Amino acid sequence: MKKLSARRRHPLAAVVVLLLALAATGGLYTAFAPAGKAQADETAQSLAIEEGKKLYSVGCASCHGTGGQGSSDGPSLVGVGSAAVDFQVGTGRMPAMAPGAQVPKKKVIYSQKEIDQLAAYVASLGAGPITPTAKQYSPAGADIAKGGDLFRTNCTQCHNFTGEGGALTHGKTAPSLEGVDPKHIYEAMQTGPQNMPSFPDSTMPEQQKRDIIAYVKAVNGEESASPGGLKLGGLGPVSEGLFAWIFGLGALIAVAVWVAAHTAKAKKS
Amino acid sequence: MSTADDKNRKAPAGERVADWADGRLGIYGLAKANMRKIFPDHWSFMLGEIALYSFIIIILTGVYLTLFFHPSMNEVEYHGGYVPLQGVMMSEAFASTLDISFDVRGGLLIRQIHHWAALIFLAAMLVHMMRVFFTGAFRKPREINWLFGFLLFVLGMFTGFTGYSLPDDLLSGTGVRFMQGAVLSVPVVGTYLSMFLFGGEFPGGDFVARFYSVHILLLPGIMLGLVVAHLILVFYHKHTQFAGPGRTNRNVVGMPLLPVYMAKAGGFFFLVFGLIVIVSAIATINPIWSIGPYRPDQVSTGAQPDWYMGFSEGLIRVMPGWEINFAGHTLVLGVFIPLIIFPLVLVAIAVYPFVESWVTGDKREHHILDRPRNAPTRTAFGVAWLTWYFVLLVGGGNDLWATHFHLSINAITWFVRVAFFAGPVIAFIVTKRICLGLQRRDAEKVLHGRESGVIKRLPHGEFVEVHTPLEQGDLHKLTAHEQYKPAEIGPTVDENGVERKVSPGEKLRAKLSEGYYGEGSQIPKPTAEEYKEITSGHGHH
């Protein structure tokens, strides 16, 4: 330290400090600047928007308008966000087949890449919910019990106890959640498609959404067990009553007919 | 060998036991009188047996369940075997039902047997009741037994409802809330009744314990007594039988209770038990673990009661939400009217035997059953009632009809509203026509025999189908029923020329009687003369 402090009055000291400061600034700049990659991303993004716009004008513009402004046949897409596009097109609901009470889920006709391009274009029309990443919607490690409670508070009114779906007014329905991709469940909660209310992060934080997804997977997924046997659609007393009448009482009546048909023979003489 | 040996020989063990019991209970006379009791054979006479056996199964499994169920609404945190509910707060009743399902050996199977048997019990009772109805087995002297059976059905409904509510799950809790809403809609006393039932505001901390004693003690106790009375009356009246050769209103043709029916009934009990166990092992019922614990702030779609209460659900679902506000009080007609119609639906079928005997003026004893077609008005009324009941069941499950048949729930609701009034009328007319058609067919069969399918060509070229005449026994079966004449008002002027007053009731009765037995309400059955004339060969074909 003595050496350094002794030379601080050296005529070249200022030059050395200046050089060091320049080197530090430059170093920090190279370390933190987005540099060339940012450039590449932006190009890819604008390319996706470009491609998306082309897909949009073929598949969507007839109802949603050439600029996504909407028409009498379809709502405006300004501000719906990429998550909405990923949900609607990713589950096959869009493009819609025919106007009706509700647009049903059907075969997906776009590849995930095309869906991303469409989403990029629609997102460019106005800010909205962004397509979630796998980390956001993954049910791994979420609290199933908490999710069940949240599900019963927020979802069962329309989707039934275990997400088997239910009826809404005038032919509309809350669809079954069986086998629905966790990403799509997450996006539905984010964006509130069709008749569903939306549950943005401000009312339902990301963690709660993951809990709900974990619950749905646990009770209505491919691996969920039904400890009591056939679950009869999980629809409750109506299907149980039908089963009791047909396979319970029906079988018993068949047995009664059988027993009555094999009556004791009167003894001869 | 010798007589001395015979005297010293000890009686067989069975005889000694019987002798011992007879000396103390005096059962010999009772057994002698009843062991040879004759019962006729027909599969439809076993429907009541299905009900009886499922009732026994319910009692047996119910006893097992009481050993583990805690009828308490104390809140506990769950830490049992079902992972997706761990850490959730719930009532002890719900937690103990989860324990029965997951941690008690055989608990889930017993629970499912109990519940499936309950659904089958009620269904069997209804079908049994309809068998009695359509064959006219409710006629004198069996009207009281008909009422006992009806009471068993109604009590079964409420026993089922209270049992369904015990686990305190989200589905049954919604049902209890539904019931509480109906109670609240009663003018003036509704609020007091609700407070009394629940020991305060809904849901309070009492109702599970209260429903428990009603479910396991009060109602089953009454039902058990009624079942015994029902069976004693069956023994006392003797069983009815269908018409047939050798069967009259004064005898019973069949097999004796011992040994034939003891063996048959005993075997049938095990068949019923076995089948219910198979159903319970195959299919789950009321999976409360996926339904979740009850919380008054939560509700699910597809919340229906068990099938036997479904028609009350239908009444509420299709009733427009009318209400009247007057001087700060609300009369909720949308709930209160269904509450009034609910018992009326049941009473409509229960009082029918008395209405029929009043209309027809028939006070004789009947031990020979009617074929439904031979009592067209009764049959038509029964089908109309069933249509009414079924229409309400459709209303109760309107959401599932909507989702499974891709219909609008509003359209279904409107259909049910219209069908509530129109359905029974249409069913009545159609059924009556079908019955008359079947009567015509019977008459045709008696007079011309059965179509053999053999076509014969006569020498002059005409083609005729050969009809095989019926056997004597079949002829008897098709013509054994009596055909009545409508009850008339009778002379309104007596021998002195004094006019008598005809009450409106009398006029109504005459009109109804005309509807029962008047022209166009029955096809005259073939007479012996007609039969002779046709079969003697003159004017054949």
Substitution target in B269, B288, B403, B406 with the highest count of A β-carbons within 10 Å is B403
B310 and A240 within 8 Å at the Cβ level: the answer is no
Domains observed in chain B: 39-370 (1.20.810.10), 371-490+501-541 (no CATH)
Answer whether the bond into residue B486 is a cis peptide, omega within 30°: no
The answer to whether the CB of B151 falls within 8 A of the CB of B304 is no
Substitution target in B42, B290, B299, B412 with the highest count of A β-carbons within 10 Å is B290
Residue-level pLDDT at A34: 61
- Same fold yes or no, A43-125 and A134-220: yes
B298 and A153 within 8 Å at the Cβ level: the answer is yes
Annotated binding site: which residue ranges of A?
60, 63-64, 155, 158-159
Substitution target in A102, A105, A146, A152 with the highest count of B β-carbons within 10 Å is A152
The three-point CA angle A190-A192-A193 to 5° equals: 125
For residue A148, give the nearest of B88, B120, B297 by CB distance. Answer: B88
B287 and A255 within 8 Å at the Cβ level: the answer is no
| Side-chain half-sphere exposure of A193, counting CA atoms within 13 A | 26
Residue-level pLDDT at B539: 47
* Residue that the structure tokens 């402090």 belong to: A5
Residues 6+ apart with CB under 8 A from A175: A104, A105, A159, A165
- DSSP element (H, E) containing B77: strand B75-77
B463-496 in b/e burial notation, b at 16+ Cβ within 10 A?
eeeebebbeeebbbbbbbbeeeebbeeeeeeeee
Closest C-alpha to B300, from A266, A73, A60, A152: A152
Quick one: closest CA in B to A174, which residue? B403
Q: What is the pLDDT of residues A75-95, one digit of tens each?
A: 899 989 899 999 999 999 988
The answer to whether the CB of A220 falls within 8 A of the CB of A178 is yes
B285 and A238 within 8 Å at the Cβ level: the answer is no
How close B262 gets to chain A, by Cα (Å)?
12
How close B426 gets to chain A, by Cα (Å)?
25
The answer to whether the CB of A213 falls within 8 A of the CB of A181 is no
| Mean pLDDT for all residues in chain A | 87
The answer to whether the CB of B385 falls within 8 A of the CB of B424 is yes
Q: What is the pLDDT of residues A93-152, one digit of tens each?
A: 988 888 788 888 889 989 999 999 999 999 988 888 888 988 888 888 889 999 999 999
For residue A227, give the nearest of B108, B271, B298 by CB distance. Answer: B108
The answer to whether the CB of A167 falls within 8 A of the CB of B400 is yes
SS (H, E, C) B36-71: CCEECCCHHHHHHHHHHHHHHHHHHHHHHHHCCCCC
For residue A256, give the nearest of B47, B119, B291 by CB distance. Answer: B47
- DSSP element (H, E) containing B388: helix B376-396
For residue B408, give the nearest of A159, A165, A170 by CB distance. Answer: A170
Strand, coil or helix: B248: coil
Type of residue at A22: L
- DSSP element (H, E) containing B451: strand B450-457
B301 and A166 within 8 Å at the Cβ level: the answer is yes
How close A162 gets to chain B, by Cα (Å)?
6
Per-residue pLDDT of chain B (541 residues; tens, 9 = 90+): 445 555 667 788 888 988 888 889 888 888 887 888 888 889 999 999 999 999 999 999 999 999 999 999 999 999 998 988 989 999 999 999 999 999 999 999 999 999 999 999 999 999 999 999 999 999 999 999 999 999 999 999 999 999 999 999 999 999 999 999 999 999 999 999 999 999 999 888 999 999 999 999 999 999 999 999 999 999 999 999 999 888 988 888 888 888 888 888 999 999 999 999 999 999 999 999 989 999 999 999 989 999 999 999 999 999 999 999 988 888 999 999 999 999 999 999 999 999 999 998 888 999 999 999 999 999 999 999 999 999 999 999 999 999 999 999 999 999 999 999 999 999 999 999 999 999 999 999 999 888 888 999 999 999 988 888 888 889 999 998 888 888 888 777 878 888 888 888 888 888 888 888 888 888 888 888 888 888 776 544 4
Residue-level pLDDT at B28: 84
Residues of A in contact with B108 (CB under 8 A): 227-228
- The CA distance from B46 to B50, in Å, is 6
Residues of A in contact with B276 (CB under 8 A): 248
ipTM of the predicted structure? 0.90
B116 and A248 within 8 Å at the Cβ level: the answer is yes
**Assigned CATH topology for domain A43-125:** Cytochrome Bc1 Complex; Chain D, domain 2 (1.10.760)
SS (H, E, C) B510-527: HHHHHHHHCCCCCCCCCC
The three-point CA angle B507-B512-B513 to 5° equals: 95
SS (H, E, C) chain A: CHHHHHCCCCCCHHHHHHHHHHHHHHHHHHHHCCHHHHHHHHHHHHHHHHHHHHHHHHHCHHHHCCCCCCECCECCCCCCHHHHHHHHHHCCCCCCCCCCCCCCCCCCCCCHHHHHHHHHHHHHHCCCCCCCCHHHHCCCCCCHHHHHHHHHHHCHHHHCCCCCCEECHHHCEECCCCCCCHHHHHHHHHHCCCCCCCCCCCCCCHHHHHHHHHHHHHHHCCCCCCCCCECHHHCCHHHHHHHHHHHHHHHHHHHHHHHHHCCCCCCCC
CB distance from A226 to chain B under 8 Å? yes
Could you tell me the CA-to-CA distances from A247 to B47, B120, B134, B153, B302 in Å, in that order?
Answer: 15, 10, 24, 21, 22
Quick one: closest CA in A to B401, which residue? A167
How close B129 gets to chain A, by Cα (Å)?
14
Locate A41 and state its tokens: 């991303």
- The CA distance from A62 to A47, in Å, is 23
Residue-level pLDDT at B1: 47
Confidence of residue A38 (pLDDT cuts 50, 70, 90): low
CB distance from A231 to chain B under 8 Å? yes
Residue-level pLDDT at A1: 61
What are the residue boundaries of the structural domains of chain A, listed by start? 43-125, 134-220
B507-523 in b/e burial notation, b at 16+ Cβ within 10 A?
eebbebbbebbeeebbb
- The CA distance from B114 to B399, in Å, is 27
Could you tell me the CA-to-CA distances from B28 to B15, B219, B407, B474 in Å, in that order?
Answer: 12, 34, 65, 41
Query: What dotted CATH number matches A134-220?
Result: 1.10.760.10
How close A125 gets to chain B, by Cα (Å)?
36
Annotated binding site for heme c: which residue ranges of A?
60, 63-64, 155, 158-159
B290 and A252 within 8 Å at the Cβ level: the answer is no
Work out how many CB contacts closer than 8 A connect A with B: 204
Could you tell me the CA-to-CA distances from A122 to A40, A91, A107, A216, B77 in Å, in that order?
Answer: 21, 17, 22, 30, 47
For residue A259, give the nearest of B119, B264, B286 by CB distance. Answer: B264
